[in-house]
């Protein structure tokens, strides 16, 4: 739980949490990360902001939607100790953890899962639990998906004993040879 002494401190904390790390990238867009939700809590001791209910994390054309999102951020002291590894503003983004009907949405696809973790330093999103990727070409289902955003690389596991990755692609028939 958080306790703010005055409204000014609350405004500053919200602005700090909305400030992305210099390298934070949810998709192919850079820029500020905006977070909206029904409810917000701040634990400045743990360096976490917790958002509840209809949470929407947006950066450019990419977004994460979930029932609950925990944003971990670097303290000013941590940034000074880590140097270049945690560059950015005070409260620079460390990671985003999303739970409950998690969606990762870009212009090219929509991914649904039970849980998701975005690690800013690696620009990597890991989604797990009933993962379903949908795009114009088809769908892929599995248990665990890791997306390396800068490389555009996706790795999917079927999960568990006998678990398999399942894909269904739309086929385009070629015109008959004449």
Q: In which band, very low, low, confident or very high, does the pLDDT at 77 lie, cut at 50, 70 and 90?
A: low
Does residue 136 lie in a domain region? yes
Region 95-120: what's the mean pLDDT? 95
Q: Residue 24: its pLDDT value, please?
A: 63
Band the pLDDT of 23: cuts 50, 70, 90: very low
Q: How does the average pLDDT of the chain come out, rounded? A: 80
Q: What is the pTM of this model?
A: 0.75
- Is 49 a member of any domain? yes
| pLDDT for the residue 4 | 40
Domain span at 124: 7-169
What is the count of structural domains for the chain?
A: 1
Following DSSP, what letter does each residue of the chain receive, concatenated?
----SSHHHHHHHHHHHHSPBTT--SSS--S--EEE-SEEEEETTTTEEEEEEEEEEEETTEEEEEEEEEEEE--HHHHHHHGGGG-BSTT-EEEEEEEEEEEEE-SSEEEEEEEEEEETTTTEEEEEEEEEEEETTEEEEEEEEEEETTTTEEEEE--STT---EEEE---PPPPP-
Beta bridge partners of 26: none
Which CATH number covers residue 140? 2.60.450.10
The yes-or-no verdict on residue 84 having pLDDT over 60 is no
Find out whether 134 and 142 touch, Cβ atoms under 8 Å: no
β partners of residue 132: 112, 141
């Amino acid at each position: 739980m958080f306790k703010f002494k005055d409204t000014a401190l609350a405004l500053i904390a919200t602005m700090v949490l909305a400030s992305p790390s210099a390298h934070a990238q949810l998709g192919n867009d850079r820029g500020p990360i905006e977070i909206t939700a029904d409810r917000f809590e701040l634990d400045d001791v743990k360096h976490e902001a917790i958002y509840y209910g209809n949470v929407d994390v947006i950066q450019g054309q990419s977004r994460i939607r979930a029932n609950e999102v925990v944003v971990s951020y670097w303290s000013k002291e941590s940034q000074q100790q880590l140097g270049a590894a945690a560059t950015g503003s005070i409260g620079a983004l460390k990671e985003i953890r999303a739970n409950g009907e998690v969606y990762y949405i870009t212009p090219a696809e929509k991914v649904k899962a039970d849980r998701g973790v975005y690690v800013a330093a690696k620009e990597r999103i890991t989604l797990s639990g009933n993962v379903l990727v949908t795009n114009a070409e088809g769908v892929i289902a599995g248990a665990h998906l890791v997306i390396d955003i800068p490389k555009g690389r996706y790795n999917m596991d079927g999960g568990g004993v006998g678990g398999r990755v399942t894909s269904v692609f739309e086929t385009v028939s070629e015109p008959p040879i004449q």
